[in-house]
């Protein structure tokens, strides 16, 4: 039996204009220009230039934002639009992460990929047809850091099924050995040990006793070398301490990642600051990068066309459709212009709040002057939602007299001191880094000793936190910092 039920529910949804604003807000300066060009191409009612007194019909063209994004972002419907949880407001690195953070494709500099270089070198070898196919397969299996980690048997199977090439392990290893002679030295190694040996054997002074000793150490004492068990190496390889120092210096100058580039292509990241901070007679002034403040206006010809059509006879269907089309384009142009203005306003408000909060750092440029600050602190200052601040902080940077800093740099958690104050974890990291730099490398400081030294300086910090900060600073454990 069918029944009709009437249910009343309250839902929150983003209007198309708010979606447009949110998308524009998180776009960095480097991408904003192309986004504007795209809008200019698809909307003939939008033009570049100073805004004129264009008023097609104030009663008909809707305002995209009654107010700026509120503290609660009232129309936000996470399920329908973003499908993200904004409960957390912490960013990567310093415990301040937001789901808004995303990897953005940066401009690529022109260059030849690693695989292209290797294939070019392969062409100079006098290989038969089968060996050339094997060589191409091996080069295709080289990962971005320069290693072949796939089992050779699996590559042989691939050659059989995909290339219809019957081969054996000896032939594949023979071709692999030829590829390992390519530049850069160490390429196509199957592990770090093989990579270092290849580079040592390629050295011009390969007959030098130190080179021979280094090859012996990597060949017979690789495990001891990685764990810095120098006493065992001295006994096993029958060398003195001075010779071992020279061996270690030689090995540490080798390249552990001969591929060198994260994706096999030369990549350059161009940082374009979104904000410019000027110190004028002791007073700070924030300005937006000029690309963040484009001059846009609605087309006068489209506005006049709308007014003319709107006053004419509405009974004609074609004319009515034309009026609707023109109005839609004018609406879209006004919404886009207002969204750009709203973006500028929100960026400046957020950056001003960050400046006020970290004024001591901007005055001196001293990292120790950074105060603990999380997204929530700025959100409360400007009466906006945490997600809005996260969008501003993500992929944005500011140019100061001390250099260009990403906005994420200014966000960090706090560490309590004996005096009852909170200091930025960046300050603690700076102190930790200095301690490690000044330690006796013959007897490096363990995490427990580092905790005691930090506690003696007044920083109330746990051992696991020291270990976390050490890893973030890319400082190895004490055993691996040991030197002769």
b (16+ CB within 10 A) / e for 372-394: bbbbebbbebbebbbbbbbbbbb
**pLDDT band at 8; cut points 50, 70, 90:** low
pLDDT class for 31, splitting at 50, 70, 90? confident
pLDDT band for position 104 (cuts 50, 70, 90): very low
3 state SS of 236? helix
- CA–CA dist 245, 422 (Å, integer): 44
pLDDT at 75 over 80: no
Segment 448-465 shows an average pLDDT of 85
Q: What is the model's pLDDT at position 10? A: 59
- Which pLDDT does position 394 carry in this prediction? 81
C-alpha 456/C-alpha 97 separation (Å) is 31
Dist CA 258 CA 183 (whole Å)? 9
CA distance 363 to 285: 12
Closest listed residue to residue 200, CA positions, set 183, 182, 213: 213
Query: Are the C-beta atoms of residues 229 and 244 closer than 8 Å to each other?
Result: no
Please tell me the predicted confidence (pLDDT) of residue 187. 92
pLDDT grade, residue 191 (50/70/90)?
very high
Query: Is beta strand 397-400 parallel, antiparallel or unpaired with respect to 275-280?
Result: parallel
Closest CA to 15 of 72, 76, 69: 76
Query: Tens digits of per-residue pLDDT, 416-435?
Result: 666 666 677 777 888 888 88
Q: What is the pLDDT of residue 99?
A: 43
Kindly report, residue by residue over 369-425, the tens digit of the pLDDT. Answer: 888 888 888 999 999 888 888 888 887 888 888 888 888 888 877 676 666 666 777
pLDDT at 68: 42
Q: Domains of the chain: which residue ranges?
A: 13-105+269-412, 145-260, 414-481
| CATH tag for 414-481 (out of 3.30.450.90, 3.50.50.60, 1.10.10.60, 3.40.50.880) | 1.10.10.60
Q: What is the pLDDT of residue 426?
A: 75
If one compares 252 and 63, the residue with the highest pLDDT of the two is 252
Q: Identify the bridge partners of residue 414 per DSSP, sorted by sequence position.
A: 424
Max mean pLDDT range (80-89, 185-194, 450-459): 185-194
Q: Is the pLDDT of residue 54 over 50?
A: no
Long-range contacts of range 24-27, CB-CB < 8 Å, 24 or more positions apart?
A: 24/339, 24/340, 24/343, 25/343, 25/346, 25/347, 25/388, 25/391, 25/392, 26/100, 26/391, 26/392, 26/394, 26/395, 27/395
pLDDT reported for residue 353: 93
Residue 23's pLDDT is what? 78
């Amino acid at each position: 039996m069918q029944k009709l039920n009437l249910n009343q529910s309250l839902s929150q949804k983003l209007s198309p204009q708010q979606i447009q604003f949110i998308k524009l807000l998180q776009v960095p300066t480097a991408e904003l220009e192309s986004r504007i060009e795209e809008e200019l191409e698809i909307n003939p009612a939008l033009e570049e230039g100073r805004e004129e007194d264009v008023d097609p019909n104030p009663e008909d063209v809707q305002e995209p934002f009654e107010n700026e994004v509120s503290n609660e972002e009232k129309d936000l419907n996470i399920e329908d639009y973003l499908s993200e949880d904004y409960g957390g407001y912490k960013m990567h690195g310093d415990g301040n992460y937001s789901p808004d953070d995303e990897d953005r494709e940066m401009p690529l500099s022109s260059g030849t990929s690693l695989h292209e270089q290797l294939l070019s070198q392969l062409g100079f070898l006098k290989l038969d047809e089968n060996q050339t196919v094997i060589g191409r397969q091996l080069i295709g299996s080289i990962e971005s850091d320069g290693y072949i980690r796939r089992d050779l048997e699996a590559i042989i199977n691939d050659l059989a099924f995909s290339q219809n090439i019957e081969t054996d392990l000896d032939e594949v290893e023979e071709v692999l050995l030829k590829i390992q002679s390519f530049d850069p030295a160490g390429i196509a190694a199957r592990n770090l040990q093989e990579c270092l040996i290849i580079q040592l054997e390629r050295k011009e002074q390969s007959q030098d006793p130190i080179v021979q000793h280094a090859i012996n150490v990597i060949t017979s004492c690789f495990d001891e070398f990685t764990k810095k068990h120098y006493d065992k190496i001295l006994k096993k390889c029958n060398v003195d301490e001075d010779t071992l120092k020279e061996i270690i210096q030689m090995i540490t100058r080798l390249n552990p990642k001969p591929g060198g580039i994260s994706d096999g292509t030369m990549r350059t990241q161009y940082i374009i600051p979104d904000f410019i901070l000027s110190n004028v007679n002791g007073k700070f002034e924030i300005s937006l990068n000029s690309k963040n403040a484009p001059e846009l206006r609605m087309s006068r010809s489209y506005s006049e066309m709308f007014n003319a059509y709107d006053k004419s006879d509405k009974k004609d269907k074609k004319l009515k459709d034309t009026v609707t089309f023109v109005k839609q384009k004018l609406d879209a142009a006004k919404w886009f212009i207002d969204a750009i203005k709203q973006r500028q306003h929100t960026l400046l408000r957020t950056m001003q709040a960050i400046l006020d909060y970290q004024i001591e750092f901007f005055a001196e440029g001293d990292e120790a002057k950074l105060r603990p600050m999380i997204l929530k602190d700025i959100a409360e200052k400007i009466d906006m939602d945490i997600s809005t601040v996260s969008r501003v902080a993500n992929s944005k940077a500011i140019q100061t007299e001390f250099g260009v800093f990403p906005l994420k740099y200014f966000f960090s958690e706090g560490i309590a001191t004996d005096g009852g104050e909170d200091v930025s974890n960046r300050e603690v990291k700076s102190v930790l880094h200095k301690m490690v730099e000044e330690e006796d490398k013959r007897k490096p400081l363990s995490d427990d000793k580092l905790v005691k030294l930090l506690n003696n300086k007044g920083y109330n910090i746990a051992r696991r936190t020291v270990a976390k900060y050490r890893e973030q600073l890319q400082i190895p454990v004490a055993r691996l910092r040991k030197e002769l």
